[in-house]
């Protein structure tokens, strides 16, 4: 018995479709270090699709002396960052990601609206000088932490725009002191070695993980993209000058405990997108280099002059 040719065609079409679906899954995006593996069939950064080949991409090298001081880049206000929480954390096959729910948000920092914190994740290497995505005057750090925010609240979704996301980026340096605030995350890593696994961290607040608040007034600002496919050019980037410090052993746990693959053959490290061209963009900074006070000059000069004048007139 032979099948009617229309049924045959339908079967062939279905087979082709199934094959196409499985082969796109095999050609999933990955980092350079994974693409370089023999027999890897994932797409490294030069083959990423979506907006990834456009020209307002991230990360970039920040040249500090080219960054223009912008007096509108005032301090941020952080809400809910002080809430202690048992965050859910997962290995998503590309990074380790803390899910932040909808209880934390930021305003200020010349952002046009309130931005909700969605997730926190990191980028790292096993070496101390190539794990950050951004570099500052050519210098890469051991790790970089990103807190991804979305404009508005969960109840009103915002259309794609150049400022749909605000990402706060923190450089991480390695030293010889334990960072207690990072211990809950570090301890959770061994429970999420495999991709697509999750766990709950011991209680911690976001604020505890950040540098001291008074240091957060110094930062760089530019418009760019997500650093993973589809690289949407929707990000207001804030790169803080003050690094976070971890103990070397805490830092090494990331490349020791986490794996890219189910079989745990490839440790997760160098999950870092290569630098992108700045192109026609301007990088801004919140303060002139070496400027200690956040106050504008007239607020200091006027009272001083008034005092002097008052003394003179007596």
Catalytic center residues: 94
- The nearest distance, CB 156 to ligand NAG, in angstroms, is 11
- Among Zn ion, ligand NAG, none, residue 39 binds (CB under 5-8 Å by kind): none
Give the whole-angstrom CA distance, residue 96 versus residue 259: 10
- Among Zn ion, ligand NAG, none, residue 303 binds (CB under 5-8 Å by kind): none
Give the whole-angstrom CA distance, residue 166 versus residue 224: 10
| Cβ proximity of 240 and 117 under 8 Å | no
- Among ligand NAG, Zn ion, none, residue 40 binds (CB under 5-8 Å by kind): none
- The nearest distance, CB 85 to ligand NAG, in angstroms, is 8
- In the bound state with Zn ion, the residue whose beta carbon lies nearer, of 274 and 303, is 274
- Among Zn ion, ligand NAG, none, residue 154 binds (CB under 5-8 Å by kind): ligand NAG
Give the whole-angstrom CA distance, residue 285 versus residue 27: 39
Q: CA 19 from chain center: how many Å? A: 35
- In the bound state with ligand NAG, the residue whose beta carbon lies nearer, of 78 and 251, is 78
Element (H, E) at 95: none
- Among Zn ion, ligand NAG, none, residue 146 binds (CB under 5-8 Å by kind): Zn ion
- In the bound state with Zn ion, the residue whose beta carbon lies nearer, of 235 and 280, is 235
Strand, helix or coil for residue 141: coil
Strand, helix or coil for residue 213: helix
Of 217, 195, 188, whose CA–CA distance to 261 is shortest? 195
- In the bound state with ligand NAG, the residue whose beta carbon lies nearer, of 37 and 207, is 207
Contacts with Zn ion, residue ranges (CB under 5 A): 146
Give the whole-angstrom CA distance, residue 212 versus residue 106: 16
Contacts with ligand NAG, residue ranges (CB under 6 A): 88, 101-103, 154-155, 198-200
Query: Cβ–Cβ contacts within 10 Å for residue 152, how many?
Result: 14
User: How many residues would you count in the chain?
Assistant: 314
- The nearest distance, CB 117 to ligand NAG, in angstroms, is 10
Pairing of strands 284-285, 88-91: unpaired
- The nearest distance, CB 105 to ligand NAG, in angstroms, is 10
How do the residues of the chain divide into helix, strand and coil, expressed in percent and rounded to 5? Answer: 25, 25, 50
| Cβ proximity of 205 and 85 under 8 Å | yes
- In the bound state with Zn ion, the residue whose beta carbon lies nearer, of 56 and 146, is 146
- The nearest distance, CB 82 to Zn ion, in angstroms, is 24
For Zn ion, which residue has the nearest CB?
A: 146
């Amino acid at each position: 018995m032979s099948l009617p040719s229309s049924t045959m065609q339908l079967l062939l079409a279905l087979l082709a479709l199934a094959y196409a679906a499985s082969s796109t899954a095999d050609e999933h995006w990955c980092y350079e270090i994974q693409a370089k593996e023999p027999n890897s069939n994932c797409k490294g950064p030069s083959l990423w699709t979506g907006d990834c080949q456009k020209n307002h991409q991230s990360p970039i090298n920040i040249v500090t002396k080219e960054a223009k001081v912008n007096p509108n880049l005032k301090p941020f206000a952080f809400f809910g960052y002080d809430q202690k929480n048992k965050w859910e954390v997962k290995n998503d096959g590309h990074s380790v990601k803390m899910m932040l729910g909808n209880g934390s948000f930021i305003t200020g920092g010349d952002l046009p609206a309130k931005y909700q914190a969605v997730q926190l994740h990191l980028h790292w290497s096993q070496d101390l000088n190539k794990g950050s995505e951004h570099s500052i005057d050519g210098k890469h750090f051991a790790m970089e932490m990103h807190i991804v925010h979305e404009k508005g609240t969960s109840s009103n979704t915002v259309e794609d725009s150049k400022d749909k996301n605000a990402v706060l980026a923190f450089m991480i340096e390695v030293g010889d002191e334990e960072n207690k605030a990072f211990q809950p995350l570090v301890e959770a890593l061994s429970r999420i070695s495999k991709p697509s696994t999750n766990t709950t961290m011991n209680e911690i607040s976001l604020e505890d993980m950040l540098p001291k608040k008074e240091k957060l007034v110094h930062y760089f600002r530019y418009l760019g993209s997500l650093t993973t496919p589809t690289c949407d050019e929707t990000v207001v980037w804030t790169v803080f000058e003050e690094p976070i410090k971890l103990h070397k052993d805490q830092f090494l746990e990331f490349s020791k405990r986490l794996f890219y693959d189910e079989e745990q053959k490839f440790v997760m490290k160098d999950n870092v997108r290569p630098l992108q061209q700045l192109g026609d963009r301007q990088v801004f900074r919140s303060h002139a280099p070496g400027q200690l006070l956040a106050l504008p000059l007239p607020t200091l000069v006027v009272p001083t002059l008034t005092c002097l004048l008052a003394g003179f007139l007596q």
